[in-house]
Amino acid sequence: MHWVKPLAELCRDLPVSLSGPDVMINDITEDTRDVSEGCLFVARRGRKFDGRELVPQAIAAGAIAVLAESGVEIPRFPVVTCDCPDQISVSLADRLHGQPDLPVIAVTGTNGKTTTASFLRHLLGSRTGLIGSIEVHDGKAAHSARLTTPRPIELRRIMSRMKANGCRRVVMEASSHALSLGRMHGLSIEGAIFTNLSGDHLDFHGTMGRYAASKRSLFAGLSGSSFAVINMDDPIGAVMKVATRAQVLECRLDSSGHADGRVRILSRSQQGVDVELLHEGRPHVFHVGLPGDHNVMNLLQAMMAANACGQSMAEMLNSIETLPSPRGRLERVPSGMDSPSVFVDFAHTDGALSNALNALRPLVSSGNRLIVVFGCGGDRDQTKRPRMGAVAAASADQVVVTSDNPRTESPQSIIDDILVGLPRGSAVLAEPDRSKAIALAIQNAVSGDVVLIAGKGHEQDQIIGEDRIPFDDRTVALQVLSGQGIQA
């Protein structure tokens, strides 16, 4: 659906000043990459850029009006000025896009958001929108995502498209950045899921307390008519439970204590995990065709949320037979019978790396090795680097440390930070060139070994300095497995 409204009508009764001629607005954006003919450009000051400096670029790209704080003057050009462009831009987006008030189920936590959200959308059916780290699905088509949780203006645009396409609700990943920056203010939160909490994003939050508080704010803001699905195996789950007025649905995996949904692992194999779910006093036995106990918890939480939305257990058990595996989440790279098994995963925290390695350990043949290739992002939380090194040394038989989006930091200095966490005598190799590191791991593996390439998952570039260089772990692994010339 394409919305077009006069600028004066959009601004009516808002605390703004409007100068210049009235024009017909067909979109609103604060991102110069999204500027198109007929749009209103929001020139706000951000953490890295001042949007007012980008006004000429936006006008050249087709913007026909500008919203900004006072100080922007363009003769004979429509300019809307106000004290708070952030708030006014959201009001304008709501008015332009018809206030697309779809119920939202928000998934938050350090690890497991993407998988849990993907599982939940599958269980709820095709009339459910999805907003996440990998993609945005508007009910008709999937589009690549830029941010885990889009900014408020873009959220309104996406949700209006979802509503026009017949979606009844939205499953959305809620990042700690988005919660701290208020990106989800004004949305109708039907329910929330807390997956877990471990060290990450401390470059932004500063402390674990502030990081946890960002997650807590989601649950504290839920109404009494909402639901909250909480992983009670995580110690922070109790904090989320106490914080909320919503109906709490407690989830546990092979642990004691009260649970509204409890799963017991029956067996693990290369084909997945057999489990028993106890729900409302009744046992349900089924197979999860993905490795890893953490994926069982992800599915349990998705099932509890879907049930709260009205899905029956019979409907969900039928849907599980065709459960999708998100791209870059323990994704298997095709290989021959005589080659090692190679997996790509997004694990970029110590908790996620531990989960991935523990999930793959049962797939290693007797007498063979589990090998991991990973790095840590530059200009990001430095505290997790030695922790990830320690986890890799404890859970894998061979560690290859490499680069993972070094940005403006020295790749070698990041590697050195990681190596601090490995005990003396660990089986570890360091290779800053990620392609060579992947080749080193695979070429030194044999049939029966399992190689995990961790950190990038679905990502398709490597950020070096300010540049994004095309790079895909799966593509590199396939080239090495097929003998296409990449040498360690």
Model confidence over 436-474: pLDDT tens digits? 999 999 999 999 999 999 999 999 999 999 999 999 999
Same domain for 73 and 117?
A: no
Same domain for 437 and 355?
A: yes
User: For residue 375, which of 398, 336, 339, 347 has the smallest C-alpha distance?
Assistant: 347
CA distance 121 to 142: 13
CA distance 402 to 440: 11
CA distance 1 to 11: 21
Same domain for 116 and 260?
A: yes
Across residues 176-194, what is the average pLDDT?
96
CA distance 343 to 371: 10
Listed residues 96, 111, 129: the one ending a domain: 96
Would you say residue 52 has pLDDT above 70? yes
At residue 71, the pLDDT reads 75
pLDDT tens, 289-347? 999 999 999 999 999 999 999 999 999 999 999 999 899 999 999 999 899 999 999 99
CA distance 19 to 79: 5
Same domain for 341 and 310?
A: no
At residue 48, the pLDDT reads 75
Listed residues 320, 341, 368: the one ending a domain: 320
Same domain for 84 and 110?
A: no
The CA–CA distances, whole Å, from 363 to 174, 356, 357 equal 32, 12, 10
Same domain for 306 and 344?
A: no
CATH of the domain at 131: 3.40.1190.10
Across residues 54-74, what is the average pLDDT?
93
For residue 30, being part of any structural domain is answered with: yes
For residue 72, being part of any structural domain is answered with: yes
Same domain for 27 and 152?
A: no
CATH of the domain at 437: 3.90.190.20
At residue 485, the pLDDT reads 63
Strands 272-279, 282-288: pairing kind: antiparallel
Buried b (16+ CB within 10 A) or exposed e, 374-410: bbbbbebbbebbbbbbbbbbebbebbbbbbbbbbebe
Same domain for 32 and 176?
A: no
| Token pair in block for residue 402 | 């490499």
pLDDT tens, 95-151? 999 988 899 999 999 999 999 999 999 999 999 999 999 999 999 999 999 999 999
How close are the terminal C-alpha atoms of the chain, in Å?
Answer: 51
Q: Name the domain count of the chain.
A: 3
Residue-range definition of the domain harbouring residue 23: 5-96
